[in-house]
Structure 1
Amino acid sequence: MPDYRIIIDLSDRQLYLLDDDVVTQAFPVGIGKMVTQTPTGEFTIINKQPNPGGPFGAFWMGLSKPHYGIHGTNDPSSIGHIVSHGCIRMFNDDVLALSKIVPIGTRVTIRP
Structure 2
Amino acid sequence: MNPIPQRKIIIRRSSRQLELYDGNRLLASYPCAVGKNATPTPIGSYAVATKIMNPGGAFGSRWLGLSLPDYGIHGTNKPSSIGTQASLGCIRMHNHQVEALYNQVGVGTPVIITE
- Measured against the shorter chain, the TM-score band is over 0.9
Structure 1 partner of 2:35: 32
Does structure 1 residue 96 correspond to structure 2 residue 106? no
The structure with more radius of gyration: 2
Whose helix proportion is higher, 1 or 2?
Answer: 1
Match of 1:21 among 20, 24, 27: 24
Q: Structure 2 counterpart of 1:57, which letter?
A: G
Write the distance in 2 (CA, Å) between the matches of 1:87 and 1:57.
13
Write the distance in 2 (CA, Å) between the matches of 1:83 and 1:75.
10
Match of 1:42 among 40, 45, 64: 45
Structure 2 partner of 1:10: 13
Post-superposition Cα deviations, 1:41-97, rounded to whole Å, max 9, x if no partner, equal 000000000110120000000000000000000010000000000000000000000
Deviation at 1:2, TM superposition (A): 5.2
Q: Structure 2 counterpart of 1:47, which letter?
A: T
Q: Percent identity?
A: 50
Write the distance in 1 (CA, Å) between the matches of 2:59 and 2:20.
20
Write the distance in 1 (CA, Å) between the matches of 2:5 and 2:65.
21
Q: What are the ranges of 5 or more consecutive residues in structure 2 without an aligned counterpart?
A: none
**Count of residues in correspondence between the two structures:** 112
Post-superposition Cα deviations, 1:25-56, rounded to whole Å, max 9, x if no partner, equal 10000000011100000000000001101200
Deviation at 1:7, TM superposition (A): 0.3
Give structure 1 regions of 4+ aligned residues with deviation exceeding 6 angstroms: none
